[in-house]
Chain A
Amino acid sequence: DQQVKQNSPSLSVQEGRISILNCDYTNSMFDYFLWYKKYPAEGPTFLISISSIKDKNEDGRFTVFLNKSAKHLSLHIVPSQPGDSAVYFCAAKSRGSTLGRLYFGRGTQLTVWP
């Protein structure tokens, strides 16, 4: 049962344009969301996170938007750069859980071309 879904397995964007990666979740107990970037043969690298008490969080070129009513979040990368080409994973943690396990989506392969 996939509680975090990334329905687009791939996204191709031209350098300098905006990349928008989407994520949906089904568990209303999720209260903390994270985005990770993963290059081949490496572990996931933390990018940005957002708590359910917010609807937006920015860090440089990266912005995450959270729509709780739609159980949807998105990651915006502006401007996109070729070095951003990687697999992006959305992850979520459940409210009230002291255990901290993360639930991941299947990832979206972003390709930024010159």
Chain B
Amino acid sequence: DTGVSQNPRHKITKRGQNVTFRCDPISEHNRLYWYRQTLGQGPEFLTYFQNEAQLEKSRLLSDRFSAERPKGSFSTLEIQRTEQGDSAMYLCASSLRGILAGVTYQETQYFGPGTRLLVL
């Protein structure tokens, strides 16, 4: 399977605990995104990497959240001191930023299956 993979698929934790999620993008993709989706809402942008550089963070990403992509391949999203409001589906997406004939072309983001987090 060459799609985006995420682990774990489900996580139940107690309030105050730390959790870490992993995302493995499509192998040749240089861009990686994290989104969060709560019930009845569309995915909301959290942060974005181009290769190993974290280039944008949403204001939704409080200082309890940290994301890394150490070698420009897989990424981890850590939530410290979890709160009940952190309960959501955490989605990872990847895309390939490219230039064709001197023009940057529009890229499509491909999503993984998500990690469902429940904070008790």
Contacts and interface: CB of A to CB of B under 8 A. Distances in A.
Pair from one complex: yes
B107 A100 contact: yes
Contacts of A105: 42
A89 B31 contact: no
Interface in A39-86: 41-46, 49, 51
A97 to B, nearest CB: 9
Contacts of A46: 108-111
A43 B113 contact: yes
Query: Which label, helix, strand, loop or mixed, suits the secondary structure of the B interface?
Result: strand
Contacts of A45: 111
A89 B106 CA distance: 18
B40 interface: yes
Given A51-B106, A89-B42, A104-B43, A43 B111 contact: yes
Nearest to B33: A101
A99 B44 contact: no
Contacts of A93: 106
Nearest to A90: B42
Contact of A101 (B41, B45, B91): B45
Interface string A81-114: 0000000010101000011111111110000000
A34 B95 CA distance: 14
A100 B31 contact: yes
A100 B97 contact: yes
Nearest to A50: B106
Contacts of B108: 34, 46, 49
A44 B91 contact: yes
A43 B112 contact: yes
A36 B109 CA distance: 10
B89 to A, nearest CB: 8
B74 interface: no
16 contacts: A43-B93, A43-B112, A43-B114, A44-B91, A45-B111, A89-B42, A99-B48, A99-B56, A100-B31, A100-B97, A101-B33, A101-B45, A104-B43, A105-B42, A106-B41, A107-B41
Interface of B: 4, 6, 31, 33, 35, 40-45, 48, 55-56, 91, 93, 95, 97, 104, 106-114, 116
